[in-house]
Amino acid sequence: MRTPEQWRELALEIGRDLGFDLVGVASAEPSARLAMFPDWVDAGMAGEMGYLARRSEDGHYVRERITAVWPWARSVLCAAVVYNAEAPRSTEFAASRERGWISRYAWGEDYHLTLRDKLEDWRQRLAAEAGEEQFHATVDTAPIVEREVAWRAGLGWQGKNTCLIHPKKGSYMFLGTLVTSIAMAAEEAPVPDRCGSCTRCLEACPTGALTAYKMDASRCLAYLNIELRGAIPEHFREPMGNNVLGCDICQDVCPWNRRAATTTAPEFQPRPGLVAPRLAELGAMSEEDYRERFRHSAVKRAKFAGLQRNIAVAMGNSGNPEFLLQLQSWEAGADAVLAEHARWALARIGEARIEAQTES
């Protein structure tokens, strides 16, 4: 019979062998750091993401305690995989009048699929050694606050932008967890906070979604242009800039990402045309083109209608009259939400043209 320390060493050795960039172990016991979670949800900061407000039978939010979902859980194995490819940052294209921005994490294959396969291999190899012990692998789809667990497992610290940051890897990382009934020795010395007095991420956030170590998800561009269905509130449209899916700003300005690790893994290399894509090309896509182009891609999370809505906003923010015909076509279309966003974008381009004429 293995000791908790021996189980830890075996699990981490297997994880490294499978190619995870970082691995660690945390206890499945409730964490004092999650005491703020109910207040965060109750303050409306989860927006319309109702799954974050799911409660257990005793009335607590399920994300407060891992054992609320898996009563047998004793340990959580955490893994991180770097997805950062050698490519420009969003801040280099923020003023572009022709191009949009798709978040870095969505350039390659859908991380839910690639990371899930690795976690399943991890589970199988441990299960072969563990007899009747239980396991459950999760990738961003289960009621676990992954960044908090990963911090306790020693994979990095949670920065002021709320992302997990590793001093050598940076923050462009996917996280996955493997909950288990095996008692393993947990990390005893989490990585210390190294944000210091830096506030670049807080100052760069275009919607004011960030305060130090806390994000109001209802104001985050990644929520507004992916998770939110229907109309984007008007006061958030101009701050969206050219972001058509997600947002990388708070990571791109982080000093710890200046020399962030990059990956050569083929599944995370950018698909053709996804790094600062041309808005005209994106806008011309049919739904069939969309399905084919983004097969096995995280871009599909926004749905075709949502992506078109976002493209319309980006076109409006560009001030580029070359997009007028496309926007007029959408304005006259059957999709009421898209038509309203196209109408807003047309007005925005009109304002930009008037300003340009005045200045000249």
Given a contact cutoff of 8 angstroms between Cβ atoms, the answer to whether 131 and 217 are in contact is no
Catalytic residue among 140, 216, 248, 335: 140
What distance in Å separates the CA atoms of residue 196 and residue 180, rounded to the nearest whole number? Answer: 35
76 beta partners: 26, 179
**Measuring CA to CA, which residue among 170, 115, 172 is closest to residue 141?**
115
DSSP state of 225: I
Beta strand ranges found along 105-186 (DSSP E):
135-138, 157-158, 164-165, 173-180
Half-sphere exposure of 221 (CA within 13 A, CB side): 25
Residue 91: Cβ within 10 Å count: 13
22 phi/psi in degrees, rounded to 5: -140, 140
Contacts of 293-300 spanning 24+ positions with Cβ under 8 A: 296/109, 296/110, 296/113, 297/106, 297/109, 297/110, 297/271, 298/105, 298/106, 298/110, 298/111, 298/112, 299/102, 299/106, 299/245, 300/110
Q: Which two tokens stand for residue 216?
A: 């109001």
Residues belonging to the chain:
360
Question: Helix, strand, coil % (nearest 5) of the chain?
Answer: 45, 10, 40
Strands (E), the chain: 22-27, 75-82, 101-102, 135-138, 157-158, 164-165, 173-180, 210-211, 214-215, 243-245
Cα–Cα distance measured from residue 104 to residue 247, given in angstroms and rounded to the nearest whole number: 8
Give the DSSP letter string of 79-97: EEEE---S---GGGSTT-S
Record the tokens describing residue 291, joined without a space. Answer: 């399905």
Active site residue 140: yes
Catalytic residue numbers, as ranges: 140
